[in-house]
Amino acid sequence: MNFDFTENQTMFRDMVRDFARQEIAPIAQQMDEEGTMPETLVDKMREAGFFGLTFPEQYGGMGVDTTTYALVVEELSKASAGVSVMICVHNSVGSYPLAMYGSEEIKQKYLPRMAAGEIAAFCVTEPGAGSDAAALTATARKEGDKYILNGGKIFVTNGARAQFLVVLARTPGTTGHKDIHAFLVEKDLPGVSVAKKEDKMGLRASDTVAIDLEDVEVPATHLLGQEGDGFKVAMSALDGGRIGIAFQALGIGKACLDEAVKYAKVREQFGKPLLHQPVIANMIADMGTEMEGARLMGYRAAWLKDAGRPYTKEAAMAKVAASEAAWRAADRAVQIHGGYGFCREYPVERYYRDVRVTRIYEGTSEIQRMVIARHLTRD
Ligand code: CAA
């Protein structure tokens, strides 16, 4: 067993760390306050290749392995989780369905555009279909060489900026997971509209919107996989997505740890720095230990994915362990800062809000536990 990163992985991590420190961290607080991300930053990220990270080289991407991707996500998340989620969704659930299940024709047509920075989003969730993804009601009616899509999707990360949507919809009049189909939809098609932008607790730099689909005509060639494969397409995309979210949580958690240590070194109470008070040192030790455990689980899930081995359970374990360890780290970081941690002046206030969603999206902690338990208990 070798715990060293390759030269390439270290190089990527350092490059992204520099980029995040120079280009993202200085404006992270402002993006959070204003609830926006400047297009100039998105353009710089396009130029630096962030939108092609996981895309195969033959389609204009960088083709990085999943461990490298995890390192990149962790570094970006230390600076701004709102920025990192844009990159995560684009490089996983927004594009994986096309890369894995699209025909060669549409892969050649669209993957290079996505890799160059035309942004992708993933539309599965609906008002009545959150954790129970198979309860979705958006419809896809086949008419000749097209499908006509109708329905409403919510909580679509990247939905406002996206040029491409992966949309899950079912044959009208059906229920259950077997009649669900996945499509690549160009967002500028007639009938696609952005309905509502969410005003969120955290990840405020990223856009999360509702998307309405009204008689959207999608060419049959844009079906991803076969008819009826949609649920499995979505689930397999989420498996990889969950590794990214695990490392997003760990990036936020590491930022919490760094800020807590920095503060505990200089803040004096009872005549000495907080760091020299055992109760505080213990909190810092627990933050580091819990996150390191989750990080190793994440690397293993990444390794299994790249080895082409099953990793559904391991991705779920990594996500639940990482998001919960990082959430506790954020809580401890605020606690160590005392009253200051409750004020916007200190970044731990933002981290505390940002980390919360990592226990919710791409499958709640409860859903991850359901997935894990099913794997551990099946014959
Ligand atoms: N890969 C491939 N196939 C899978 C799979 C996987 N990981 N998981 C399940 N399947 C297959 C099963 O094998 C089964 O196939 P058969 O019909 O051949 O038997 C089929 O899918 C149905 O599986 P289940 O019976 O397990 O389905 P279920 O209805 O009980 O649901 C669930 C399973 C795990 C709860 C699923 O609904 C789920 O993951 N829910 C959470 C949804 C979610 O994560 N949403 C995130 C939204 S996107 C987002 O958050 C992005 C963002 O903004 C950042």
* CATH, domain range 7-115: 1.10.540.10
**Given pLDDT bands bounded at 50, 70 and 90, which one contains residue 120?**
very high
Give the catalytic positions in this structure: 362
Give the class (CATH, top level) of 232-378. mainly alpha
| Whole-model pTM over 0.75 | yes
> What ligand 1 atom has the least distance to the C-alpha of 156?
53
CA dist list (Å): 147 to 150, 190, 215:
10, 13, 9
Q: Whose CA is nearest to atom 25 of ligand 1?
A: 177
Contact between 157 and 207 under an 8 Å Cβ cutoff? The reply is: yes
The Å distance, Cα 134 to ligand 1 centre, comes to 8
Per this entry, what is the length of the chain? 379
- Cα torsion angle, 115, 65, 300, 297, sign: negative
* Ligand 1 mutation target, pool 235, 305, 365, most atoms within 8 A of CB: 235
Q: Which residues line the pocket of ligand 1, CB cutoff 6 A? A: 85, 89, 93, 122, 124-125, 131-134, 155, 157, 177, 231-232, 235-236, 238-239, 312, 361-363, 367, 370-371
Check: CB of residue 319 under 8 Å from CB of residue 257: no
DSSP code per residue over 215-229: EEEEEGGGEESSTT-
- Please list the residues that pair with 103 across neighbouring strands: none
What residue spans define the domains of the chain?
Answer: 7-115, 120-228, 232-378
**Under the phi-then-psi rule, with left for phi > 0, alpha for psi from -120 to 50, and beta for the rest, what region is 151?**
left
Please write the tens of the pLDDT for every residue from 201-256.
999 999 999 999 999 999 999 999 999 999 999 999 999 999 999 999 999 999 99
Q: Long-range CB contacts (< 8 A, 24+ apart) of 338-346?
A: 340/263, 344/29, 344/33, 346/259, 346/263
Q: Is the pLDDT of residue 379 over 80?
A: no
Closest CA to 176 of 142, 132, 141, 220: 132
Judged against a pLDDT cut of 90, whether residue 1 lies above it is answered with: no
Q: What is the mean pLDDT of residues 2-28?
A: 97
Looking at ligand 1, which residue's alpha carbon is closest to its atom 5?
Answer: 235
Q: Determine the atom of ligand 1 nearest the C-alpha atom of 236.
A: 1
pLDDT tens-digit readout, 138-154: 999 999 999 999 999 99
Percent above pLDDT 90 for the chain: 99
Cα separation, 31 vs 38, in Å, equals: 8
Secondary structure class of 70 (helix, strand, coil): helix
CATH says 120-228 is which class?
Answer: mainly beta
